[in-house]
Amino acid sequence: MKLCIIQETIMQPDLTAEEVTSHWKALEKAIPGVELDIKYPKGYPSPEELDEMIGDADAVFGIWISDRIINEEILSKHPNLKYIATLGHGWREFDVEMTRRKGITITNTIYGAQTIAEYGWALLMEVCHHVKDHSELIKKTDWTKEENRMHYDRVVTPQIELYGKTCGIFGLGAIGLAFAKMASGFGMRVISYSRHKKVGAQYHFIEQVDFDTLLKESDVISIHAPLTSDTQDTFNKEAFAKMKDGVILVNTARGGLIVEEDLKEALDSGKVYGAGLDVLRDEPQVGDNPLFHTDKTSITGHIAWLTKASRLRAVDMAIENYLHYLNGIPTSVIN
């Protein structure tokens, strides 16, 4: 049995490629005689490069699931391939029926619900409190001057209290649920909208509502849905018009869910008070972006998932998922 592993470039300062590789080596202990072919591309490989890397592997780990890779043309070149694992939560649309006909199992890896939710909450805290701005004020002010000392405890941005406000969750998957728990812990009322109603005791503290209600009643909206043809451009001019004045928007999902020009207009008008965004439509952004030209946005580069713990957990969970598959009980199957 040959397994191909696409090990992406390490992007954290506290993690090494050797540490990640050592976790993948657990497959050698779990599957006698297995051959691991670990690839170390610089940057994410193109479809052509991936095609060559996969070769005659029985399974491949680390693929970004989209129709650029998961299509008839590429998969037909790899008759041995029966298992594909993405190391992330999300995926783009692909031909599900075609993969089923070929007998290929495709899984995702829900490794970072807490990590990503925590980062989303950090973005929300930044919009509400601008802690870094106040830290810089303290560090850079000359406090030997009496006129400065008189203003030591001033604030330079409005401070927003979340207690008693309504948090709307768009997409109540694992990440959305983790974010909802944080909101509830802050004393917020939590409402959510998902394509399918969630059932179970873990959701009892959340009011599941329709999309228009989510827009109209939320003081904070946090986006946690996948990007599909149904969800693309969901947050557009019409959606913003239905929101409360002064709503806060957080997005750690995919940039394509928001029409960025419409969000900029909503920010300029005050309809949206501020936005914390870890994702953009184009990543990396080549050229200008209207959201760069306002102090009402906090934007980072799709790094919500990048803790050392989550990176290693993704490997461990991907291995666990594959062993379940080999034992006839596949988990986290997305096709």
163-188 pLDDT, tens digit each: 999 999 999 999 999 999 999 999 99
Output 11 or 263, whichever has higher pLDDT: 263
Three-state DSSP at 26 gives helix
- pLDDT per residue over 241-271, tens digit each? 999 999 999 999 999 999 999 999 999 999 9
Instruction: Give the DSSP letter string of 93-107.
Output: ---HHHHHHTT-EEE
Confidence of residue 121 (pLDDT cuts 50, 70, 90): very high
Tokens of 261: 């020009």
State residue 124's pLDDT score: 98
**97 classed as catalytic:** no
329 Cβ neighbours under 8 A, 6+ residues apart: none
pLDDT band at 128 (very low <50, low <70, confident <90, very high): very high
Look at residue 45 in the predicted model and tell me its pLDDT.
92
Tell me which architecture the domain covering 113-299 has in CATH.
3-Layer(aba) Sandwich (3.40)
Residue by residue, what is the 3-state secondary structure of 273-332?
EEEEECCCCCCCCCCCCHHHCCCCEEECCCCCCCCHHHHHHHHHHHHHHHHHHHCCCCCC
Q: How far apart are CA 80 and CA 219, in angstroms?
A: 51
71: pLDDT strictly greater than 90: yes
**Is the pLDDT score of 92 beyond 90?**
no
Q: Residue 43 has what pLDDT?
A: 86
- What value does the CA radius of gyration of the chain take, rounded to a whole number of Å? 22
- Annotated catalytic residue, options 52, 238, 283, 293: 283
Q: Of the residues 254, 260, 311, 313, which is catalytic? A: 254
Choosing from 23, 129, 302, 324, the catalytic residue is: 302
For residue 151, what pLDDT is reported?
Answer: 87
Question: What does the pLDDT read at residue 11?
Answer: 87
Q: Which of 4, 25, 3, 84 is nearest to 312 (CA)?
A: 25
Judge whether 283 counts as a catalytic residue. Answer: yes
> With bands split at pLDDT 50, 70 and 90, how would you rate the model's confidence at 240?
very high
Average pLDDT over residues 287-308: 94
Confidence band for 210, pLDDT divided at 50, 70 and 90: very high
What pLDDT was estimated at residue 285? 86
Task: Indicate the domain borders of the chain.
Answer: 2-111+308-326, 113-299
- Which has the closest alpha carbon to 86: 273, 288, 314? 314
Q: Is 130 an annotated catalytic residue?
A: no
The predicted structure's pLDDT at residue 8: 87
- What band does 286 get if pLDDT is binned at 50, 70 and 90? confident
* Predicted local confidence at residue 287, as pLDDT: 84
Q: Find out whether the peptide bond into 32 is cis, omega within 30 degrees of 0.
A: no
- Fold for the domain defined by 2-111+308-326: Rossmann fold (3.40.50)
As a whole number, the mean pLDDT across the chain is 95
**Mean pLDDT across the stretch 131-155?**
92
